Amino acid sequence: MKFFFVFITLVFPLITFANNCNQFVQKSKSLKEIKHILRSSEYELNAYDFEKLTLDDLKKYFLSEFIKAEDKLNTIINNQSLPSFNNTLLALEKLDLELNRAHTLLSHIDMTNQSPDTTALIELFEKLYQQLSDKQKFSQTLFKRIEAVYQKQQIKKTLDNESFKLLKDAYENFQKSGINLPKEQQTRLSVIEKNLTDLSKEFEQNILKHKKEIVFYLDESEVDGIPDYVLKSASELAEKIPGHAKYLFSPQFGNSGMVTAYATSPEVRLKAYLATEKLAQDGVFNNTSIVYEIIKLRHEKAQILGKENYAELSISDKMAKSEKNVLTFLETLRDVSRPYAIKEKELLLNFYNELTQKNESNIPMSDRAYYGRLFSEKLDNFDTEMVRPYFEMNNTLTVVFDLVEKLYQVKFIKVNIPTSHPDVYAYRVYDQKTESDIGLFYFDPYARPEKNGGAWSMGRKLPVLNTNSILCFKSRFMLVFFFSLSKLEQLLLTFIL
């Protein structure tokens, strides 16, 4: 529900691709027809019309792109011409473009309309992509071509900053990926990368599956203190599953935390806490062993690549540059923050003991959200529920758009194009400075069982040649919001200090 700040922070520039597996027509199409649908459209900014595509269509499309990409990679590697930025770096970047587009589409489908079929298709894509990636990053011939371009003395004068960064990153990434390692170590690195990808996917799936299984119900006598809008949504959810109590709560729909924060009954708060405290930590969805295996494989990968540990490997290309810098920053932050944290903890504990007429040394975990909220409201003299009427969703969206338009000189224009669901709003994003379109923004506020929670962005780089035949980029992103909002006539958002 932290809509206001999340939206302001991340809203520009945005693009998404609308997908809805349930709306796909089931007519078989030729590859030519599929590509025509994907690459041309009657809608704003060539928005893809996914109502005309099935998962089988997308599978047929991206398998053809893999075959084409492998042929192009072989052409680049075996090119007999002298290596240049255009025939090597730019060619590699173009090669990756269609695969990135396909992966973006498939990933978005999997996150917004997840099913066993979409997940299986993503896994197949990632398997094929890794095979192609291994062929590229362990090719000595390709590395020598990139190295030859990188070592040219005049290269900086002929390339703009973005293009030179592409060249520099490609050269350094080859070295970091183990291009100079013996064949057996390269093979082991490939196995490690595959295992890490599989484990990460399993980790995410365990969390999603467990969230869907965690459900608890409350009846009328147990919901005192919980805001009416939360109860309205929980009641609508419960109506879909007859034979249970009146109100349904689940982390899948983002409403379980409202019970621990607002329910006046300590027994009800404990019930909600116990239902959700061990998310993916026990039973068939236990991620503990997966975490240990990921740590083990990352450590092995780092040592193969000549680093002492994974932290050293990970930080090497980041702004902090070294583990020591990171630890120094964290320790400084800890030393500065700790006295204030201790003082606030004491004040909160005193507040808790005063209200409950107890003399505890710690606040029970199930009560911390509830008393923390009460303490914050007293300390700041601010009640989030009191200001909710001022944050009606459509009005808030308009104000946020106005703010972003003033800060970044972009405009949001509502458009009527195919979307992933009837509840989704689509907007054209227009750059007033350059008088050109940036992309499309899709606002998806409602919870659905097949939709993942949270907000995420997915980018794709669109390489184009400018008038000097130099590579430049136009970045487009996708951001999807998740709210467990009941479809009331008036939707009110929560403002978080």
If you average pLDDT over residues 244-253, what whole number do you get? Answer: 87
If you average pLDDT over residues 354-372, what whole number do you get? Answer: 95
- Residue for token pair 């068939």: 284
The answer to the question of residue 270 being in a domain is yes
- Single out the residue of 230, 159, 274 nearest to residue 492, CA to CA: 230
489 pLDDT higher than 50 = no
pLDDT band at 143 (very low <50, low <70, confident <90, very high): very high
pLDDT, tens only, 409-449: 999 999 888 777 777 788 888 889 888 888 778 787 777 77
pLDDT band at 304 (very low <50, low <70, confident <90, very high): very high
* Cβ 439 vs Cβ 45: under 8 Å: yes
The answer to the question of residue 118 being in a domain is no
If you average pLDDT over residues 251-255, what whole number do you get? Answer: 84
Distance CA 480, CA 421 (A): 12
The number of helix segments (H) and strand segments (E) in the chain equals: 18, 7
46-60, 263-277, 304-318, 428-442, range with the lowest pLDDT: 46-60
| Proportion of the chain above pLDDT 70, given as a percent | 82
User: Which residues, in sequence order, are CB contacts of 468 under 8 Å at separation 6+?
Assistant: none
Distance CA 447, CA 486 (A): 9
112-121, 251-260, 336-345, range with the lowest pLDDT: 112-121
The answer to the question of residue 229 being in a domain is yes
44 pLDDT higher than 80 = no
Q: Considering the chain, what is the average pLDDT of its residues?
A: 82
86-95, 214-223, 443-452, range with the lowest pLDDT: 443-452
- Residue for token pair 């062929």: 135
DSSP codes joined into one string, 204-221:
HHHHHHHHHH--EEE-GG
The answer to the question of residue 22 being in a domain is no
pTM to 2 decimal places: 0.79
Task: Tell me which residue range forms the domain holding 347.
Answer: 332-386
* Cβ 69 vs Cβ 98: under 8 Å: yes
Burial of 442 (0-12, 13-18, 19+ CB in 10 A): buried
361 pLDDT higher than 80 = yes
The answer to the question of residue 405 being in a domain is no
- pLDDT value, residue 10: 34
Question: Which of 340, 360, 386 is the C-terminal boundary of a domain?
Answer: 386
* Cβ 214 vs Cβ 279: under 8 Å: yes
470 pLDDT higher than 60 = no
pLDDT band at 387 (very low <50, low <70, confident <90, very high): confident
If you average pLDDT over residues 273-300, what whole number do you get? Answer: 95
The answer to the question of residue 495 being in a domain is no
Distance CA 379, CA 216 (A): 32
Query: Total structural domains in the chain?
Result: 2
| Proportion of the chain above pLDDT 90, given as a percent | 43
Give the CA dihedral 200, 206, 209, 215, nearest 10 degrees.
-140
- pLDDT value, residue 487: 56
pLDDT, tens only, 19-43: 333 333 345 688 888 777 776 655 6
pLDDT band at 349 (very low <50, low <70, confident <90, very high): very high
pLDDT band at 460 (very low <50, low <70, confident <90, very high): very low
The answer to the question of residue 194 being in a domain is no
DSSP codes joined into one string, 223-264:
-TTS-HHHHHHHHHHHHTSTTS-SEEE-GGGT-HHHHHHH-S
- Residue for token pair 């703009």: 160
Range among 10-24, 215-229, 238-252, 471-485 with highest mean pLDDT value? 215-229
- pLDDT value, residue 290: 97
The answer to the question of residue 55 being in a domain is no
